[in-house]
A and B are shown apart, each in its own frame.
Chain A
């Protein structure tokens, strides 16, 4: 049974929604890039590079939204450093504190892999970048990617845990949000790579594998959506009632249509190539929007 609290909402709105969206895709893209490199065929390297090239710029946008959302934006660094003693501020049981550190460290991995992907792909013909690109397939490079992917998973997932570690109705009454945001972030990342690979023949050879992965991520997401609604018990009307049902319909279209289309490639050929990934991305955004806004309404 949900706990009864008498809270006021924190008014986390558009900036936070956009941050959650881009953080999920950035983290997810890094994870997919790593998995393609570890388990894929050498021809999947182009799609893997595309994943790393997507991850970093999207991650760069995230702190901008986070800082703009603060009441005192110039004090953003108080999240990392104690303003009076100059010592680091780190609270393992505060997801916001943990998340800021996770985001910072993931930025390092994402930046290095971005440079390596640019170097390996020959987009910039700098010797340093070419050397970095060459390291990608070494044991050290793969170990670096795996550690980065763990941070990527964290960045995509912790935003859900951040909502849950509160006393707000809905958010704090379910244990599913971390997993749900991770699954939908991975799905959005696969869709983003697919969206960009259409125009790159060398990356497009991996499209089939990305669609297959996206199917699994969408199935995971749907299972977690069902668990999310079940765990809310009597509070389910708060997220399903009123106008929120429209956003849930968008979520359903963004999951079920791509699922059916990707399961039946013939259907994919009949649809414009960008439509399915765009539907997925709109669904990912709508899912976060309905969870963030309905709980605070």
Chain B
């Protein structure tokens, strides 16, 4: 297996230039977004089949009358979870783990059932109605195979998106967190070292995960958690139904033609 790779996205360095979005679209041949005003500089809206990077503009009200809105920008992407919900439910094995430990949807295998879309807790995967398949960030698999950095990390002008071996990214994230804590940013935290067995896209956040539309560590649970309770309830119901059938259908000698 090749070396495990990872992203480390530092929201304190993101300036919202969207160079990552453009580079991603350009390299992967993704279509443009329709022109529409969403009431924010965030005119991408969400990750989907045509947007594999999304610079999220988090606008939070403050108590400072001179600066009533605080902005925080985060370049969001597929997290390539170690325990991936999408990979867990995929019934065709179209979603696989690559030699770089990233999560990849094989476009020639996917049949567009959309179970992965129902499972992804980050809303990363989108359905492409032109190809009839589910699509998401490939971690620039073709570039990785040729020893190139993913397009987004290459284009990022502020080094907000860093790319490298996963262990190295974790160390970089930990050091940066120490620095910010030393500077008094007590709210700074790393997201992705515990969730879903460890993410391949780590984030340095300056607020709680939900602010950035990321589930908390407690909410980062796999779909398979519901298998046993679901089937158990069905089995108990089946027992009651069989009992009902036994009572209703039993021979009582009263049924005459």
Interface residues in chain A, defined as those with a beta carbon under 8 Å from any beta carbon in chain B:
3-12, 31-32, 35-36, 39-41, 43-44, 69-73, 75-76, 78-79, 82-84, 89, 91, 93-97, 100, 153, 157-158, 160-168, 171-172, 175-180, 182-183, 186, 202, 205-206, 209-210, 212-213, 216-217, 220, 224
Contact residues in B for A31 (Cβ distance below 8 Å): 241, 245
Contact of B237 among A3, A83, A172, A224 (CB under 8 A): A224
Q: How far is the CB of A226 from chain B (nearest CB, A)?
A: 13
The answer to whether A166 and B119 touch (CB under 8 A), given A39-B245, A78-B92, A89-B93, is: yes
B131 within 8 A of A: yes
Contact residues in A for B253 (Cβ distance below 8 Å): 41
The answer to whether A182 and B109 touch (CB under 8 A), given A8-B117, A43-B256, is: no
* Cα-based distance from A100 to B127 in the complex (angstroms): 21
Residue of chain A at shortest CB distance from B218: A3
Contact residues in B for A158 (Cβ distance below 8 Å): 234
* Cα-based distance from A2 to B133 in the complex (angstroms): 30
Residue of chain A at shortest CB distance from B76: A6
The answer to whether A206 and B255 touch (CB under 8 A), given A83-B108, A96-B113, is: yes
Interface residues in chain B, defined as those with a beta carbon under 8 Å from any beta carbon in chain A:
46, 48, 85, 88-94, 108-115, 117-123, 125-129, 131-134, 210, 213-216, 218-219, 221, 223-224, 226-227, 229-234, 236-238, 240-242, 244-253, 255-257
Contact of B248 among A71, A177, A182, A213 (CB under 8 A): A213
Contact residues in B for A182 (Cβ distance below 8 Å): 234, 237-238, 241
The answer to whether A167 and B223 touch (CB under 8 A), given A7-B120, A71-B127, A182-B234, is: yes
Contact residues in A for B118 (Cβ distance below 8 Å): 7, 9-10, 12, 163, 166-168, 171
Contact residues in B for A153 (Cβ distance below 8 Å): 234, 238, 241
Residue of chain A at shortest CB distance from B220: A3
Q: How far is the CB of B147 from chain A (nearest CB, A)?
A: 26
Contact residues in B for A10 (Cβ distance below 8 Å): 114-115, 117-118, 127
Contact residues in B for A100 (Cβ distance below 8 Å): 91
B111→A79 contact, CB < 8 A: yes
* Cα-based distance from A139 to B129 in the complex (angstroms): 51
Residue of chain A at shortest CB distance from B242: A35
* Cα-based distance from A177 to B237 in the complex (angstroms): 11
B237→A183 contact, CB < 8 A: yes
A36→B237 contact, CB < 8 A: no
30 CB-based A-B contacts, threshold 8 Å: A3-B219, A4-B216, A7-B118, A10-B117, A31-B241, A35-B242, A39-B245, A41-B255, A43-B256, A69-B113, A71-B112, A71-B113, A71-B132, A72-B133, A78-B110, A83-B108, A94-B88, A96-B89, A167-B120, A167-B221, A175-B230, A178-B230, A179-B233, A205-B255, A206-B255, A213-B244, A213-B248, A216-B240, A216-B247, A220-B240
